[in-house]
Amino acid sequence: MTGTNGTAVVAKRVDDGHPDTAEIRDLAAAAGYTVAGEVTQTRTEDPALCLGEGKVAELADLVADTGATTVVFDNRLGPYQTYNLGNNLPKGTEVVDRFKLILDIFGQRAQTKKAQLQVELAELRYELPRAEAKASLAKRDERPGFMGLGEYDESREQDIKAQISRIRDELERIEQTEEHRREQRRESGFDLVALAGYTNAGKSTLLRRLAADVDIDENEGLHPDLDATAESEDRLFTTLGTTTRRADFDRRDVLVTDTVGFISDLPHWLVESFKSTLSEVYRADLVLLVVDVSDPVEEIREKLVTCHDTLYERNEAPIVTVLNKIDRVDDEELERKREALSALAPEPIVVSAKTGENVDSLRERIDEELPDWRRERLVVPMTDDTMSFVSWVHDHGHVDSVDYGDEVIIDFEARPAIIEQARARASELPAAAAE
């Protein structure tokens, strides 16, 4: 079946080793292309074409033979390389590099205002150096365009910078609103858990395993994963925005947020454009770093290193590694990988989000790692307002017992902040006393 974007040929160049095209094929499929073939090469980069001239000729023949409309490069192409490649391929062939492809996927999946702004910011960051190149060369050559790069508009570079500044300000306002919402949840007794990890690690499936309901909406009701039948396909970028759900815990009130997945080899400007999504991770009480344990061990190690570099930059919460998809490996392979990864994941939890295996153990680990609750006993008088107060304690903590008499004695556990609020509320009741 042809993808919504038509047929594509993928191309990849590496300096050494064997070019692996599995991920770029997945990305192309995620963008809606049907991949008809590939051309790879191991050599140093050609400044004009990325690939060598002979390989570009081979690529042109493959495009003609397959009728492909697009060539997707698993490399970052400069504006001149893109132009030169277009001149060496059949007329009308579109040339898309890795990062433009990722932006296209993001654009297709962005369904919230925040996600749309982040995509727009990333696209502008992608376009800015190309606009600067056009401006520089147009000024040097004293003509309004260069090598087919497009008509030079000297105001375009400034327009892009102004738009970037505007979007940053708008994202900052959204972030302030979301931070206020997070603080309100904490004040209401919720612990905040964030799911982090690479795309296709199984975060969305794990979220549904942990979820008790779907009534928590982080994105104003616009995110499709808030539906009870949210998809959990084996494809990249199923989740672009953040999805928050109430988790199924007996004692605690826990909110779990699934965030956009990491993907390998992203440039700094692209990561920077989506950093506000990672604020859900940086401000959580606990981070679950989800890993696909069926991946090759070296690939897992590289992914863990990248995640740690990103998460430990600003994160203060404990990080627990979750080795997911144990249904895809046997016990011997699982143990071998656990041992090989012990330095990066010293005490991992192994689960299968798909089958539910060990998810109960994960819940126990979450409960252990989240901030300790404190035990409290409050003695309050029996008044017209007392039952409302007792109900509030039930809603915000875990009540062990309530003894009703001339006075009401409440034994409960809660976050320290909730205990302080309970004491304050109790003190407002006539003749209240705390033991």
Query: What pLDDT, on a 0 to 100 scale, did the predictor assign at position 360?
Result: 93
Q: Is 279 annotated as a binding residue?
A: no
Q: Is 239 annotated as a binding residue?
A: yes
CA–CA distance, 202 with 107 (Å, rounded to integer): 22
Helix 416-427 and helix 156-187, axial crossing angle in degrees, nearest 10: 60
Q: Is 324 annotated as a binding residue?
A: yes
Q: Is 326 annotated as a binding residue?
A: yes
CA–CA distance, 99 with 174 (Å, rounded to integer): 26
Q: Is 202 annotated as a binding residue?
A: yes
Query: What pLDDT, on a 0 to 100 scale, did the predictor assign at position 394?
Result: 87
Q: Is 11 annotated as a binding residue?
A: no
Query: What pLDDT, on a 0 to 100 scale, did the predictor assign at position 237?
Result: 46
Single out the residue of 124, 5, 131, 25 nearest to residue 73, CA to CA. 25
Kindly provide the b/e burial profile for residues 48-61, where b requires at least 16 CB atoms within 10 angstroms of the residue's own CB. Answer: ebbbeeebbeebbe
Q: Is 63 annotated as a binding residue?
A: no
Q: Is 242 annotated as a binding residue?
A: no
CA–CA distance, 261 with 196 (Å, rounded to integer): 7
pLDDT < 50: residue spans in the chain = 1-2, 143-150, 214-240, 432-435
Pairing of strands 6-14, 33-42: parallel
Residue type for 240, please?
Answer: L
Q: Is 337 annotated as a binding residue?
A: no
Q: Is 197 annotated as a binding residue?
A: yes
Q: Is 22 annotated as a binding residue?
A: no
Q: Is 9 annotated as a binding residue?
A: no
Q: Is 354 annotated as a binding residue?
A: yes
Q: Is 353 annotated as a binding residue?
A: yes
Q: Is 261 annotated as a binding residue?
A: yes
Q: Is 93 annotated as a binding residue?
A: no
Q: Is 32 annotated as a binding residue?
A: no
Strand order of the β-sheet with 190-197 is 243-246, 253-258, 190-197, 286-292, 319-324, 349-350
